[in-house]
Amino acid sequence: MDIKHICCIGAGYVGGPTMAVIAQKCPHINVTVVDINEKRIAAWNDEDLSKLPVYEPGLDKVVEEARGRNLFFSTEVDKAIDAADMIFISVNTPTKTYGKGKGMAADLKYIELCARQIARVATSDKIVIEKSTLPVRTASAIKSILDNTGNGSEVKFQILSNPEFLAEGTAIEDLLDPDRVLIGGDTSTAEGKKAIQALASVYANWVPQKQILTTNVWSSELSKLTANAFLAQRVSSINSLSELCEKTEADVNEVAKAIGMDSRIGSKFLKASVGFGGSCFQKDILNLVYIAKTYGLNEVADYWEQVIIMNDHQKRRFAHNIISTLFNTVSGKKIAFLGWAFKKDTNDTRESAAIYVADELLNEQSKVAVYDPKVSEEQMYADLDYLNTRSSEENREGVSVFNNPYEACKDAHAIAVLTEWDEFKTYDWQKLYDQMQKPAFLFDGRGILDTDALEKIGFVCYKIGSGK
Ligand code: NAD
Ligand code: UGA
């Protein structure tokens, strides 16, 4: 089957970059990314590439090359659905905030709306692809909707699972050179196999055949949740040991290096931190825990839930350490945050550890001053308001946002590094020190600074997982 038109529903952190790369690598395919969020689509169409709604190194170049040629961003969802041979569903699947499964299960209402819309609009056969991260067995619900809520025309649908493994900050590299592309489908029928082949041939334009893995649809759906659970579990494992290192004069970076050189363990994802953030690790593990519980697998659920419990502990512990180090009171004291994003090289702040550390400090009446190279002031306030801990006015009173790090740190009692932005390493730390209250405390939540050199300047340093 020759794919000529692709539609992607959802122009977010996954839909936008993923489709931009498909369009760049497949100039013979027209790719239209649609979204109901008009502001987002307008930003994707902005002439000024620095205004794209997603910040990712290299994304602007890819968009510049393909946009207007075979890559289009639009709010005309129905039109794009009907024109497409292949439709990616890449909408958000957040944790439910209401009803059964509140706080754990994935909220699938946006997925269901997409399936109903496709069924209503389609007048020709379509391959429908789950790009969003979904609970295992969602494809059966999508199939049921597509097959039973149609518009009367004899349209046939094939459903595939094609989870996305890109990480933010390295999305373009990850898309151009993925470890693997996973495609799950109905391997028991000729039509199912044909659909799998059609999608595989899109990726084959730039991904080597041996890295395109095909499985049954349930394995594919479950592999995505499993991959995120394993990655997050490594971070929680090393973070749990960072606390033990602090008590025993061991150094977590040395421990990580020593174990990571064992090829069975591997060296990646062993960086101790203030806690993992991002829109997916917590959401996907909670989803896994919920699924296990619905099958009565309580030991399985408890095992994975511990990853989240440890992460919450790590964020809280970092904040409490600041408070206790500052003589048990931060009331009225200025604490400067370097970084608000959940990791470097992204403007995404979803579930960022910085939000929770700020919340704990605000509870103690601290004044928080934030500098982040890519996150807007309104985003920071929106993140705090979303927690509902205090009024919006109180959040604005407690937190001030700066677009210059030196201003943010002026007269601060402490600096806390919450994101590992490279630029933080290049600052004039003597100048920062000179402007601060004394003793000048520094809490490196990312282990990126040379604390020995900073101590020589006069800083009193705390480094995650360092017991000295
Ligand atoms: P996002 O919130 O950035 O984008 C989702 C977009 O879908 C939004 O712009 C929203 O307006 C749009 N949308 C929702 N319902 C719609 C509808 N009915 N019609 C048209 N548009 C609609 O989310 P994201 O970060 O891109 O994540 C999307 C999915 O991909 C999630 O399931 C997530 O778990 C998964 N995922 C995310 C990442 C990541 O790094 N962010 C990586 C891998 C997988
Ligand atoms: C993660 C996965 O890495 C992707 O494969 C997956 O596609 C994606 O989730 C998703 O499904 O959304 P992402 O959250 O963008 O990607 O970024 P990561 O690099 O995984 O980092 C997640 C969090 O863990 C960040 O807060 C990061 O700072 C933290 N982390 C990561 C550590 O604290 N230590 C580490 O060693 C690695």
Give the single-character DSSP code of 26.
-
Q: How far is the CA of 33 from the centre of ligand 1 (A)?
A: 12
Does 235 sit in the ligand 2 pocket, CB within 6 Å?
A: yes
C-alpha 418/C-alpha 405 separation (Å) is 13
pTM of the model: 0.96
At the topology level, CATH places domain 281-463 in Rossmann fold (3.40.50)
Q: How far is the CA of 197 from the centre of ligand 2 (A)?
A: 30
Whether the predicted pLDDT of 154 surpasses 90: no
What amino acid positions are annotated as catalytic residues?
Answer: 280
Written as one string, the DSSP assignment of 43-68 is: HHT-SSGGG-SS--TTHHHHHHHHBT
Q: How far is the CA of 164 from the centre of ligand 2 (A)?
A: 13
What sign has the CA pseudo-torsion 17, 22, 23, 25?
A: positive
Whether the predicted pLDDT of 19 surpasses 80: yes
pLDDT, position 316: 98
C-alpha 208/C-alpha 228 separation (Å) is 24
Whether the predicted pLDDT of 449 surpasses 80: yes
Q: Other C-beta atoms within 10 Å of 190: how many? A: 8
Does 110 sit in the ligand 1 pocket, CB within 6 Å?
A: yes
Residue type, 79: K
For ligand 1, atom 32, name the residue with the nearest CA: 132
- pLDDT per residue over 270-290, tens digit each? 999 999 999 999 999 999 999
Whether the predicted pLDDT of 468 surpasses 70: no
Helix (H) or strand (E) holding 168: none
For ligand 2, atom 28, name the residue with the nearest CA: 343
User: Mean pLDDT score of the chain, rounded to an integer?
Assistant: 97
- pLDDT per residue over 332-370, tens digit each? 999 999 999 999 999 999 999 999 999 999 999 999 999
Overall CATH class of domain 5-207: alpha beta
For ligand 2, atom 17, name the residue with the nearest CA: 167
Does 9 sit in the ligand 1 pocket, CB within 6 Å?
A: yes
From the CA of 80, the nearest ligand is 1
Half-sphere exposure for 361 (CA within 13 Å, toward CB): 34
**Three-class DSSP category at 453:** helix
Same topology for domains 5-207 and 281-463, yes or no? yes
Does 92 sit in the ligand 1 pocket, CB within 6 Å?
A: yes
Beta bridge pairs of residue 192: none
Whether the predicted pLDDT of 151 surpasses 90: no
C-alpha 252/C-alpha 258 separation (Å) is 10
Indicate the domain borders of the chain. Answer: 5-207, 281-463
pLDDT, position 467: 74
- pLDDT per residue over 209-224, tens digit each? 999 999 999 999 999 9
- pLDDT per residue over 166-220, tens digit each? 999 999 999 999 999 999 999 999 999 999 999 999 999 999 999 999 999 999 9
For ligand 1, atom 1, name the residue with the nearest CA: 12
Q: Give me the mean pLDDT over the 385-402 stretch.
A: 98
**Three-class DSSP category at 69:** coil
For ligand 1, atom 3, name the residue with the nearest CA: 12
CA distances (Å), origin 372, targets 253, 314, 376, 407: 25, 22, 8, 12
Q: How far is the CA of 234 from the centre of ligand 2 (A)?
A: 11
pLDDT, position 352: 98
Does 133 sit in the ligand 1 pocket, CB within 6 Å?
A: yes
**Three-class DSSP category at 5:** strand
| Interface predicted TM-score (ipTM) over 0.90 | yes
C-alpha 31/C-alpha 67 separation (Å) is 9
- pLDDT per residue over 42-87, tens digit each? 999 999 999 999 999 999 999 999 999 999 999 999 999 999 999 9
